[in-house]
Structure 1
Amino acid sequence: MGNDRRLLTLLICLLLGGGLAAAVLGASRVGGPEGAGSAAGDFVDIRKVPAVPAEPPPAGPDASTGTVAADCGRNEEGHYNEDNLVVSPGLRSGAHHTHGYVGNLTTDALSTDASLDAAATSCRGGDRSTYYWPVLRRTDRPGGDAHESSAGHGNTGEILPEAAVRVEFRGSPVSKVVPMPRFLRGMTGDAVAYTADGDADVRARWGCSGSPDRSTTRYPRCPEGERVTRTLVFPSCWNGLDTDSAGHRSHLMFPTAGGVCPQGTFPVPELRVSVAYEVPPGVPIALDAFPEQQHSPKTDHGMFVNVMTERQMRQVVDCLNEGRVCRT
């Protein structure tokens, strides 16, 4: 009888201990000081991130050294939805989280090449392309509008408005670039990086506006008065045949570290999208993500569909290949 009581007591202690451990571990990500869905280890003081040298100059005489900045606003229209035209076309709420957009003002799951071509745009130069990314939220405030509550899947909190968005195209460090085909689909980053086997597809870099030489794959804590930034660099080596592919990666690939495109691909303008936010010091933030990805900042990603006319794309290519600095 005594042995039975001791065994029962031990079992109760184990169960209570396991529950307490689970609660502590859960709190470190779900209810910890960094806010719902974020783990303390997801954050870093930007001043503790090592500075990195500036990007090396182009490597060869045939480099396309120009830049083109497209003024597409900062999503003043409040264009948000839970769709993903590139990954899940035709499926409403197929993203399972909310995306923010600049460029084409009608983009949603039901968009077609024809509807995109006929739409209005936020880009002053008339570029009807669509550029989008998962929203960033402050989790200490509840969301109040439809897009802040409809995403579900653990994505809660007030959507932080984009304070600035920069859409920029760059050339190749080793060669001239050729035009992107119209309606080319592109994707960067890894939306499932938290559960992936490695970081090979992690591309987004986070930073602070006052420290352009420091970047990280974690949420940055910025000094007061500085903006939180995230930069998405897209692949720029096209296979010359397809505007999309299974998995959305094999038709448009990244160059090697030296800037050379993989065999069988051709260099096209490299798209960079940078988004900045006003985040007061200490405010908890979380990126929209799939539930199992735990709002990890490494899961940041972005998509685009090129809807430039052939004339608009030719102007971009000429500017890059001639080494000029242009705005559209």
Structure 2
Amino acid sequence: MTPMTRPRHRWRVPVKVRVLAAGAALLLGGGATAVVAADASAGGAHRSAPRSAEAGAATATTVVCPDVGDRLSEVPGPARQRVSAGLAELDAQVAHAYEHAAGPDGDGDGEAVLGELRRQRSETIGRMADAIGEQAGRPAALTGLSACTMRKVQQVRAQDGNGDDDEAGDRDAGDAEAGARVLRRPLPGGPAPADFADIRSAPAVSRPAVRAGGSSGTFTTRCGRNENGHFNSDNVIVTPGVSNGAHHTHDYVGNLSTNAFSTDASLAAAGTTCADGDRSTHYWPVLRLLDGSAAPDARKPGGGHDGNMGRILRPASVTLEFRGSPVAKVTDMPRFLRIITGDAKAFTSGPGNANASWSCTGFENRQLKDKYPVCPEGAQVVRTLAFQSCWDGRSTDSANHRTHVAFARRDGSCPRGFRAMPQLVQRIAYDVPKGTAFAVDSFPEQLHKPVTDHGDFINVMPESLMARATACINSGRRC
């Protein structure tokens, strides 16, 4: 990756009109009025939400657009900067359209909003296609991704009012009650009570048993839990060279220098919070408490500027573990391998690339994919991000940052053309105050849905350390 000049940001539009102003008023101006600090014991009373929070609580409007970045198949080096700037510009355009669509007059001007958005996206995608076409075949199919739609989102779980006593109805009713324990009404911009569920209602999960010839060891790299406060709203993998390319704040551990303008050389030369000279970078969206507390970044990019309100909750612990394959020995990860897991746009793009899971300590055999967990008293909230464990043997990245790696099949084997490598699992645990709502940072139109959680990783381990990790995993040891 080559250094990039800092692009101008004439397309940057603060997402803080109407709907987000309402969210700020609820979270900041009105204390914890919309958030329930409820007594979870029997008979506990909820704090009443104001009338403004009651109105329109059943549905929300969001904007749904094709994910252009996910459709990229080739981005030549000389085109990277313009493509990266184009992707960031597309995100800003969608955020601006969402801001208007979600406002009180959104229904009346929806057609005009979508028409203007299509025009903007067509111009931006055309410039991106031209940049790629100067070095390779012009991707004409990209220009068909300009059109977007609006979607009404059900924000309150439908109640089963027919008295049926079936298991699904009981589970839905239990989840609705659990959601109401932490959030009385949907917050403007999300999340909603329907986004929470009692962890005890989650399905049990299992992992394939290790067979003969498999690799059962683990290697843990110790990088702390961001005690040094390394945060930014960049994304050096998806939008390199663009400040605030993520539109939400990332929490970092490992490499101390990571930002939008990092290069392989700068990462290799930087300091680290990890042991044994591991300069890898790990990052994920911050988790915020929605308890009415003002956040220091309430008016900054990645924070309130982009619709992310609430106080950032620091992890209680971070575990970074590399695991083996149940059916094969693993090969070393290449240095500077870049991987993203999960999908920051999964709510509007669909769950095809979604991969985060949520649980509670003491219940980690149960995992939620599209709900935040409501944990029993004394249990921590746990996010788990299990990365792809199969590599194509050639590339350290790909145009859409996905096709050079793959997930193992259900039986643990890699798809044809891929080989097993150590699987990174990021596990982040939090002490969430009892009865308090929380949410991950997200793009504004994603409504802070839990399915949008994601993790990012760049391998900057010394080759000798990676070889040690691989040997440990293949020999069945815990290191």
**Which of 356, 362, 365 is matched with 1:213 structurally?**
365
Question: Which protein has greater RCO, CA pairs closer than 8 Å, 6+ apart?
Answer: 1
Offset at residue 45 of structure 1 (A):
0.9
**Which of 331, 340, 351 is matched with 1:199 structurally?**
351
Structure 2 residue 465 is matched with structure 1 residue 308: no
Cα distance in 1, alignment partners of residues 469 and 476 from structure 2: 11
Cα distance in 1, alignment partners of residues 390 and 222 from structure 2: 24
**Which of 15, 40, 43 is matched with 2:196 structurally?**
43
Secondary structure of the structure 2 residue equivalent to 1:159:
strand
Q: 1:149 to 1:157 in 2, by over 3 A?
A: farther
Offset at residue 323 of structure 1 (A):
0.7
**Which of 234, 237, 250 is matched with 1:86 structurally?**
237
Please give the per-residue CA displacement for 1:120-179, whole angstroms capped at 9, x wherever unaligned: 111122210000000111122344324884312211110111111000000111111111
Offset at residue 265 of structure 1 (A):
1.1
The amino acid of 1:209's aligned partner reads T
The amino acid of 2:353's aligned partner reads D
CA contact (8 A) 2:298 2:309 kept: no
How do residues 56-71 of structure 1 correspond to structure 2 at under 5 angstroms? 56-58=208-210, 60-71=211-222
CA contact (8 A) 1:207 1:215 kept: yes
Secondary structure of the structure 1 residue equivalent to 2:473:
helix
Please give the per-residue CA displacement for 1:177-225, whole angstroms capped at 9, x wherever unaligned: 11111100001001111112x4221111100012121110210001111
Residue in 2 that maps onto 1:76: 227
How do residues 114-263 of structure 1 correspond to structure 2 at under 5 angstroms? 114-146=265-297, 149-151=300-302, 152-196=305-349, 198-217=350-369, 218-263=371-416
**TM-score in terms of structure 1 length:** 0.88
The amino acid of 1:106's aligned partner reads S
Residue in 1 that maps onto 2:431: 278
Offset at residue 84 of structure 1 (A):
0.5
Residue in 2 that maps onto 1:25: 59
Q: Provide the alpha-carbon RMSD of the alignment.
A: 2.0
The amino acid of 1:69's aligned partner reads T
Q: 1:130 to 1:305 in 2, by over 3 A?
A: same
Offset at residue 63 of structure 1 (A):
0.3
Please, which runs of 5 or more residues in structure 1 have no aligned partner? 1-19
Offset at residue 100 of structure 1 (A):
0.2
Between 1:24-33 and 1:179-188, the stretch displaced more is 24-33
Offset at residue 252 of structure 1 (A):
1.0
Structure 2 residue 470 is matched with structure 1 residue 317: yes
Please, which runs of 5 or more residues in structure 2 have no aligned partner? 1-53, 62-153, 157-182
Secondary structure of the structure 2 residue equivalent to 1:240:
coil
Offset at residue 239 of structure 1 (A):
0.8
**Which of 436, 445, 448 is matched with 1:292 structurally?**
445
Cα distance in 2, alignment partners of residues 174 and 24 from structure 1: 48
Secondary structure of the structure 2 residue equivalent to 1:230:
strand
Secondary structure of the structure 2 residue equivalent to 1:106:
coil
Cα distance in 2, alignment partners of residues 241 and 188 from structure 1: 19
Q: Percent identity?
A: 51
**TM-score in terms of structure 2 length:** 0.61
Cα distance in 1, alignment partners of residues 415 and 443 from structure 2: 31
Cα distance in 2, alignment partners of residues 51 and 307 from structure 1: 35
Offset at residue 316 of structure 1 (A):
0.6
Q: 1:34 to 1:126 in 2, by over 3 A?
A: farther
Secondary structure of the structure 2 residue equivalent to 1:315:
helix
Higher helix share: 2
Residue in 1 that maps onto 2:161: none
Q: 1:194 to 1:142 in 2, by over 3 A?
A: same
Structure 2 residue 252 is matched with structure 1 residue 101: yes
Offset at residue 317 of structure 1 (A):
0.5
Number of aligned residues: 304
Offset at residue 56 of structure 1 (A):
3.4
Offset at residue 255 of structure 1 (A):
1.1
Cα distance in 1, alignment partners of residues 184 and 442 from structure 2: 18
The amino acid of 1:76's aligned partner reads E
